[in-house]
Amino acid sequence: MLFATAISLIFFWVPEDAEDPAQRIFYFHVPIALTAYTCFGWGAWKALRLLWKRTESADLESYVAIHQGTIFGALTLVTGSLWAKATWGHWWLWSSRQLVLFLVLFLFYCAYFMLRFSIEPGPRRANLSAVYALFGVVLTPVSFLAIRLAEDFIHPTVFTRDGPQMTASMFTTFCVCVAAMITLFAALYSIELAGKRVDERIRELREALG
Amino acid sequence: MSEKYVAAAYLVVFVAVLAYVAIIGMKLARLEAALADLVERVRARG
């Protein structure tokens, strides 16, 4: 429902930006990026719960959140690249620090899987993965703030100290898109987590049966 | 000109979500088969 509403608002309600016709990508690109940050933050929170409270289920929850974050991160890079090509005429600009920082953040979380799957399942793997996830979350505000602190200003900054630099219809559409993306993350997270838990139970049952 | 990039961006998101749902669907089918196999084994044991 939220996605149908978001698509309808983007293509039939919100006015087109005369300066940047490809601006419609913004309504998906930014919410996807924000969802990726949310996923990484959620993964770090679960990692902290594992290290602090020794909640065993938090390991799987942290892994699933980071897995989702990496997917949303990849989509951020692809949609951003398409927007860049349409607006700047380049698929990628290495001189733009915010782009490179997001790529670093994405690659950092890709390496999380290499670390996780190079260690035998057990408490050691859970602890190391949790520590890595906590290190990664430090990069998230750096990447987010880089868009504001960068000197090249090639990446647009819509949210400033004076509030959102867009019309009411644009802001409403943007909020619906953010809600749609966060809901999508919540749904996919629950489904993947449930699947992984059932998989674990089946493995335990198989071992118990011999 | 820019319309094709807008379309491509939305298509990429749609395809990614579709692929993810398909992968999850396949995993669920595999889990269902594994569960059915376990039920059979438990029944065979009596």
Chain position carrying tokens 């090509």? A85
d(C-alpha A180, C-alpha A10), whole Å? 13
| Partners of residue B41 in chain A, C-beta under 8 Å | 209
Higher pLDDT, A80 or A88: A80
Phi and psi angles of residue A7, each rounded to the nearest 5 degrees, phi first: -65, -45
Q: Which of B3, B20, B45 sits opposite A188 (nearest CB)?
A: B20
Whether A82 and B13 lie within 8 Å, measured CB to CB: no
E strand segments, chain A = 159-160, 163-164
The residue of chain B with its CA nearest to that of A32 is: B13
Beta carbons within 8 Å of A44's beta carbon, 6+ residues apart: A62, A133, A134, A136, A137
* Banded pLDDT at A55 (limits 50, 70, 90): confident
Nearest alpha carbon to residue A149 among A139, A160, A138, A137: A160
The pTM (predicted TM-score) of the whole model is 0.87
Structural element, H or E, at residue A66:
helix A57-87
The pLDDT value given to residue A151: 58
Residue A90 in contact with partner chain B when CB distance is under 8 A: no
The pLDDT value given to residue A16: 75
Q: Which ipTM value was assigned to this complex? A: 0.84
**Of all residues in chain A, what percent are helix, strand and coil, respectively (each to 5)?**
80, 0, 20
pLDDT digits over B6-25, tens only?
A: 899 999 999 999 999 999 99
Report the first-to-last Cα separation within chain B, whole angstroms: 69
Q: What is the mean pLDDT of residues A146-175?
A: 71
